[in-house]
Amino acid sequence: MSDSARIPPHELLGVALQEPRTRKLRAALSALGIAIGIGAMVAVVGVSASAQANLIAEINGLGTNLLTVTPGQTLLGQNALLPNTSVPMIGHMQNVVNDAAIYQLSQNVYRSPYVPVAQTGGIGVDATGENLPRVVSTTLASGRFLNDVAARYPEVVLGAQAAAVLQITRVTGHVMVYLGSRWFTVVGILDPVVLDSSLDSTVFVSLPVAERLFGTQPNPSEIYVRSSQDDVVGVSNLLPATADPQDASGVNVSRPSDLLEARAAAKGQFTTLLLGLGAVALLVGAIGIANIMVISVLERRGEIGLRRALGATRRHITLQFLTESALLAVLGGIAGVIIGATATVIYTQTRHEPFVVPSYALVAAPAAGLLIGAIAGLYPATKAARLSPTEALRAA
């Protein structure tokens, strides 16, 4: 039938724009809920993406060429030991820039002999050499590290967490701790070790002192290896056989930066609670739009009746109101992206973090608006289309 009722899509868009254009305040208020909801979600995504980018930058700053060697299990399933020869063997490897070993001692540390033996505070005692802070990229919060010159004296350096547990905040030269039936002078406190936080709850004594006082020649419990930056994989592949030529399978090699980056990425998976709040705001926004549209349909019965008289089909009326509510929600979505991005900029600038808003958020936000608007408009639009034109005309 050539004489059908039709309206070009761009004209329909124009018709849908008429009402929001003439009632700007109402349109803005009804889009506000969506704007707040989308804004909250974009901010949550942006802030956590920025924090994650910051963390990864920090990890990269510490160097991704650190490898750790630890004893694993033998083929028979028993705990393996790293041979004492592994440390010099690794030290002689090509492309190994630096290395440091720690030796776990079966000792505990206390503030004084009067502290009950069971109250160890979870602090371990390791022997090590002067290289450790440099290899694991940490600095001293206070004092100095162990050195070979003073290797004969009973000195300790505290990890950051160990110092907190022992309630020692500053090195004065007079603070002592009680370790293995002896007093040790605290000479230094380490900053937190980002690449291996297990070092934080440890106190360190020098290897010669440990050997002399506790009379043992312990096996290394962990060896930290800095390879040259361009041969990390090569070194990592050679490490097991170098550490223990007899049983390379009992040697574990890992790269802490990989682990941390994976953890940072997982942490970046934004806090569910805040996203949930954003979703609630979106829901409220959708209800707000639906509400305004229902009122609008009631107020505009005359217009609806007129349009039907002028040849609009029920579908035209449905589409007009659906487009109108989708349009409001898309505007809300775009405003929300601006609000969320601005919040992220402010947050990251105050914390001197890099600014990151994932590009998917920029596309997803208006798209979500479109979808929400269409859903919110469904009921009012259907209601408008079902109105009897005669009654609609008479009511106005």
Partner 1 sequence: MSVELEQVVKEYPGDVTALRGVSLSVPDGAQVAILGPSGSGKTTMLSILGTLERPTRGTVRVAGTVVGTASDNELAGLRAHTIGFVFQAFHLQETLSAVDNVATGMLYMGRPLRERREAARAALERVGLGHRLDFRPKQLSGGERQRVAIARAVAKRPQILLADEPTGNLDSKSGAEVIDLLLALAADGATLVLITHDPSIAGRFPRRLHMHDGDITEDERG
Please report how the helices 359-386 and 314-350 are oriented relative to each other, as an axis angle in degrees rounded to 10: 150
Nearest distance in Å: CB 297, partner 1: 16
d(CA 346, CA 4): 55
Distance separating alpha carbons of residues 391 and 396, to the nearest angstrom: 9
**Can you tell me the distance from the alpha carbon of 102 to that of 120, in angstroms, rounded to the nearest whole number?**
20
Contact 171, 189 (CB under 8 A): yes
Radius of gyration of the chain (CA): 34
13 binds partner 1 (CB under 8 A): no
Q: Which amino acid is at 5?
A: A
Minimum separation from the CB atom of position 388 to partner 1 (A): 7
Please report how close the Cβ of residue 23 comes to partner 1 at its closest, in angstroms: 9
Q: Please, are residues 138 and 62 in contact by the beta-carbon 8 Å criterion?
A: no
- The reply on whether position 8 binds partner 1 by CB under 8 A is yes
Which residue, among 324, 325, 323, 329, has the nearest Cα to 282 in the 3D structure? 329
Q: Centre a 10 Å sphere on the Cβ of residue 334 and count the other Cβ atoms it contains.
A: 18
- Closest to partner 1 by CB, 97 or 396: 396
Q: Which is nearer to partner 1, 226 or 307 (CB)?
A: 307
* Range in contact with partner 1 (rule: CB under 8 A) among 26-34, 114-122, 257-265, 299-307: 299-307
Contacts of 26 (CB under 8 A, 6+ apart): 20, 292
Nearer to partner 1 by Cβ, of 90 and 317: the residue is: 317
**String of contacts with partner 1 for each residue 303-342, x by CB under 8 A:** x-xxxxxxxxxxxx--------------------------
DSSP 249-260: GGEEEE-HHHHH
User: Is the CB of 50 or the CB of 318 nearer to partner 1?
Assistant: 318
Of 172-191, binders to partner 1 (CB under 8 A) are none
Taking the least distance from each CB to partner 1, the nearer of 365 and 387 is 387
Q: Which is nearer to partner 1, 3 or 230 (CB)?
A: 3
Minimum CB distance to partner 1, residue 302 (Å): 6
CA-based nearest residue to 11, from 278, 310, 242, 387: 310
Write the DSSP assignment of 88-147 as a string of letters: HHHHTSTTEEEEEEEEEES--EESSTTS-TT--TT-EEEEE-TTHHHHTT--EEEE----
Contacts of partner 1 in 363-392 (CB under 8 A): 388-390
Residue for token pair 């002896």: 182
CB closer to partner 1 out of 15 and 371: 15
- Binding marks (x or -) toward partner 1, 14..33, rule CB under 8 A? -x--x--xx-----------
Question: To the nearest whole angstrom, how small is the minimum distance from the Cβ of residue 370 to partner 1?
Answer: 24
Give the nearest distance from C-beta 268 to partner 1 in angstroms: 48
Beta carbon of residue 390, minimum distance to partner 1 (angstroms, whole number) = 4
Tell me the site size for partner 1, rule CB under 8 A: 32
d(CA 278, CA 295): 26
Q: Find the shortest distance in angstroms from Cβ 8 to partner 1.
A: 7
Of 21 and 170, nearer to partner 1 (C-beta) is 21
Q: 310 is written with which tokens?
A: 């002028």
Residue 6 or 174: which CB sits closer to partner 1? 6
Across-strand partners of 73? 79
Q: Stretches 52-60, 179-187, 255-263, 301-309: which one binds partner 1 (CB under 8 A)? A: 301-309
- Structural contact between residues 345 and 355, judged by C-beta atoms closer than 8 angstroms: yes
Residues 209 to 248 in contact with partner 1, rule: CB under 8 A = none
- Output the smallest distance, CB 44 to partner 1, in A: 39
Nearer to partner 1 (CB atom), residue 255 or residue 316:
316
Q: What is the DSSP string of 14-41?
A: HHHHHHHHH-HHHHHHHHHHHHHHHHHH
Nearest approach in angstroms of CB 35 to partner 1 is 25
> Where do contacts with partner 1 occur on this chain (CB under 8 A)?
1, 3-8, 11, 15, 18, 21-22, 302-303, 305-316, 388-390, 393-394, 396
